[in-house]
Amino acid sequence: RKEVEQDPGPFNVPEGATVAFNCTYSNSASQSFFWYRQDCRKEPKLLMSVYSSGNEDGRFTAQLNRASQYISLLIRDSKLSDSATYLCVVSGGATNKLIFGTGTLLAVQP
């Protein structure tokens, strides 16, 4: 079983749609959780951290369920500029290294 699993997509949605990405992780000792965004042929960049209480940043909402070892990202009112790969990331252990999922490709259509 992969340490971090995501649906690879692609998710093709029209502008203005709401889209949700899900992610599960296998290590119950994981301590920190993130969503990174990676544009085509670019480097990953931090989109947002994920907290147990849930957190929101504009059109983006992230949720964490530690009991189910499940992380989600909701994007409301999708824009063309949201088209990218969204990487689910967990970290933990003595070195706090980041473990990346394979990423979910989002294509927002005009």
Partner 1 sequence: EAGVAQSPRYKIIEKRQSVAFWCNPISGHATLYWYQQILGQGPKLLIQFQNNGVVDDSQLPKDRFSAERLKGVDSTLKIQPAKLEDSAVYLCASSPIRRGSGSSYEQYFGPGTRLTVT
In this chain, which of 55, 74, 91, 107 binds partner 1, going by CB under 8 A? Answer: 91
Torsional sign, CA 82, 19, 12, 24: positive
Asked whether 93 and 7 are in contact (CB, 8 A), the reply is no
> In which element (H, E) is residue 94 found?
none
* Shortest Cβ 68–partner 1 spacing (Å): 20
Binding of partner 1 at residue 110 (CB under 8 A)?
no
Q: Of the candidates 53, 68, 81, 96, which one interacts with partner 1 according to CB under 8 A?
A: 96
Size of the site for partner 1 (CB under 8 A): 23
Cβ neighbors of 14 (< 8 A, separation 6 or more) are 78, 108, 109, 110
Site string for partner 1, 22-51 (x = CB under 8 A): ---------xx-x-------xxxxx-----
